[in-house]
């Protein structure tokens, strides 16, 4: 196939927003497909690829890897100020509503910057299909425009919640506007279920954001922790500070209840960009255990820490519907403590893969979870059978995506 992937974040963005499109572009290119990945520039206000350079690039590119194309934001737009709230509320809401109604997106400044590149891609590359990743509807608008110019179908991907990212008055309108997509892919069954309400006629396939195959190495390959402390590890963005405060306060009470002499040596570690918030939430642990702020870690180092941890802490954010970070936690082969609770979909996957997912909804359940995982009678590490978890690798999920794209262009996979 010749496919164009359109995403709202540059593939080198140090944030999860760039991961899904980048990983699948790499995986499909490795399978032999020709992939163009169209995104904004890495830096805000950065320059993009001009049309002449793009034409030469498409003619000479080594298609064993994706061809990355950056389209700039058009200058002089009021939209950046509107999107970040740097304008009076009344004016902001009115202008955003006008852009949704007229353009179907509040990223028309990026669509305008990408527009001169679309006919070049349509002519010089000749895509068979376009895959637009919904982080905002600007990607869908660009995908729709390119597909029309190239005379090919486009596939709508839903990696974020429609109701969280699209204001209520425009959900039905925009669903109709983008209803000409040939297929839909969704980050989870929960995302697919949500979109059935808004786009019921569009076939939807679940394509999970996956994990690298190297994450499936046996847990003992990661080596042992440098100390005898039992580590509770939290990683990634912090969306629910109240939940973290509840967990760490419950941990403080559990440690105090054991007595200073009998309490096990416990360490709480956090890997991510919200260190100050974690440090504040961890104040009840002063004098009870060490709190280590690691900052952002490279993926391989983070996975090593997850495999060494006694307990991986997960704080679900309900509006997100499903967290693909769960797969990397599952691959660590250590118990995962989820507070508050988790979705039925996550529980089902964990059970099928043999992963110890401990879901708690109140402090009493947290207390029992700490005793079961940190106490003297906690079970020893059990090896993780990665056979079923391997189905959630990027490579395996890329096969599902490739099948959906083939179906959209009429090749089918019988």
Residue 125 has what DSSP assignment? I
Burial class (CB in 10 A: 0-12, 13-18, 19+), 111: buried
Residue 56 is predicted with a pLDDT of 94
| Range list of β-strands (E), 60-127 | 67-70
Look at residue 225 in the predicted model and tell me its pLDDT: 45
Q: Quote the CA–CA distance of 349 and 357 in Å, as a whole number.
A: 10
pLDDT at residue 260, as a whole number: 67
**What pLDDT shows up at residue 237?**
86
Task: Please identify which residue in the block is written with the tokens 């979909």.
Answer: 345
pLDDT value at residue 281: 95
Is the preceding peptide bond at 308 cis, omega within 30 degrees of 0?
A: no
- Topology of the domain comprising 2-210+393-408: Rossmann fold (3.40.50)
What is the spatial distance between Cα 48 and Cα 35, in angstroms, rounded to a whole number?
A: 18
pTM of the model: 0.90
Q: What is the pLDDT of residue 95?
A: 79
pLDDT of residue 414: 36
Cβ atoms 320, 161 nearer than 8 A: yes
Q: Which two three-digit tokens encode residue 215?
A: 């994450």
| One-letter-per-residue 3-state SS of 272-325 | CCCHHHHHHHCHHHCCCCEEEECCCCCHHHHHHHHHHCCEEEECCCHHHCCCCH
| Per-residue pLDDT reduced to its tens digit, 285-342 | 998 999 999 999 988 899 999 999 999 999 998 888 899 899 999 999 899 999 998 9
Among all chains, which residue has been given the structure tokens 């509770």? 232
Segments in the chain below pLDDT 50: 221-225, 412-414
Asked whether the domain spanning 213-389 has the same topology as the one spanning 2-210+393-408, the reply is yes
Q: Please name which of 60, 76, 87 lies closest in space to residue 113, comparing C-alpha atoms.
A: 76
**What is the pLDDT at residue 267?**
93
Q: Identify the CATH number of the domain defined by range 213-389.
A: 3.40.50.2000
Q: Where are the domains of the chain?
A: 2-210+393-408, 213-389
Q: What's the pLDDT score for residue 382?
A: 66
What's the pLDDT score for residue 224?
Answer: 45
């Amino acid at each position: 196939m010749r496919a164009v992937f359109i995403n709202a974040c540059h593939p080198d963005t140090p944030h999860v927003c760039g991961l899904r499109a980048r990983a699948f572009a790499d995986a499909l290119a490795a399978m032999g497909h020709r992939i163009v990945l169209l995104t904004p520039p890495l830096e805000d206000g950065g320059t993009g690829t001009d049309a002449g350079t793009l034409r030469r690039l498409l003619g000479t590119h080594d298609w064993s890897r994706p061809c990355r194309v950056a389209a700039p934001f058009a200058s002089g737009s009021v939209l950046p100020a509107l999107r970040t709230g740097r304008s009076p509320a009344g004016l902001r809401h009115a202008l955003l509503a006008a852009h949704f109604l007229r353009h179907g997106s509040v990223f028309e400044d990026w669509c305008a910057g990408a527009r001169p590149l679309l006919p070049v891609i349509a002519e010089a590359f000749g895509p068979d299909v376009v895959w637009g990743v919904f982080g905002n509807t600007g990607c869908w608008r660009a995908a729709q425009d390119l597909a029309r110019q190239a005379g090919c179908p486009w596939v709508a991907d839903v990696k974020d919640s429609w109701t969280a990212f699209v204001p209520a008055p425009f959900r039905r309108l925009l669903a109709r506007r983008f209803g000409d997509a040939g297929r839909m892919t969704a980050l989870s069954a929960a995302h697919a279920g949500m979109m059935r309400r808004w786009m019921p006629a569009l076939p939807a396939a679940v394509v999970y954001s996956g994990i690298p195959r190297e994450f499936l190495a046996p847990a003992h390959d990661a080596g042992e922790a440098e100390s005898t402390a039992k580590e509770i590890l939290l990683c990634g963005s912090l969306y629910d500070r109240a939940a973290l405060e509840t967990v760490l306060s419950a941990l403080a009470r559990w440690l105090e209840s054991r007595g200073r002499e009998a309490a096990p040596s416990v360490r709480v570690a956090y890997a991510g960009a919200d260190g100050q918030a974690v440090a504040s939430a961890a104040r009840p642990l002063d004098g009870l255990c060490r709190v280590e702020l690691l900052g952002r870690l490279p993926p391989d180092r983070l996975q090593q820490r997850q495999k060494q941890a006694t307990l991986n802490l997960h704080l679900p954010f309900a509006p997100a519907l499903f967290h693909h970070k769960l797969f990397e936690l599952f691959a660590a082969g250590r118990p995962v403590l989820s507070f508050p609770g988790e979705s039925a979909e996550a529980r089902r996957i964990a059970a099928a893969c043999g992963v110890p997912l401990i879901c708690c909804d109140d402090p009493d359940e947290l207390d029992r979870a700490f005793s079961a995982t940190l106490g003297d009678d906690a079970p020893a590490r059990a090896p993780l059978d990665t056979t079923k978890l391997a189905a959630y690798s990027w490579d395996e999920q890329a096969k599902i995506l490739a099948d959906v794209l083939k179906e959209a262009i009429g090749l089918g996979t019988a």
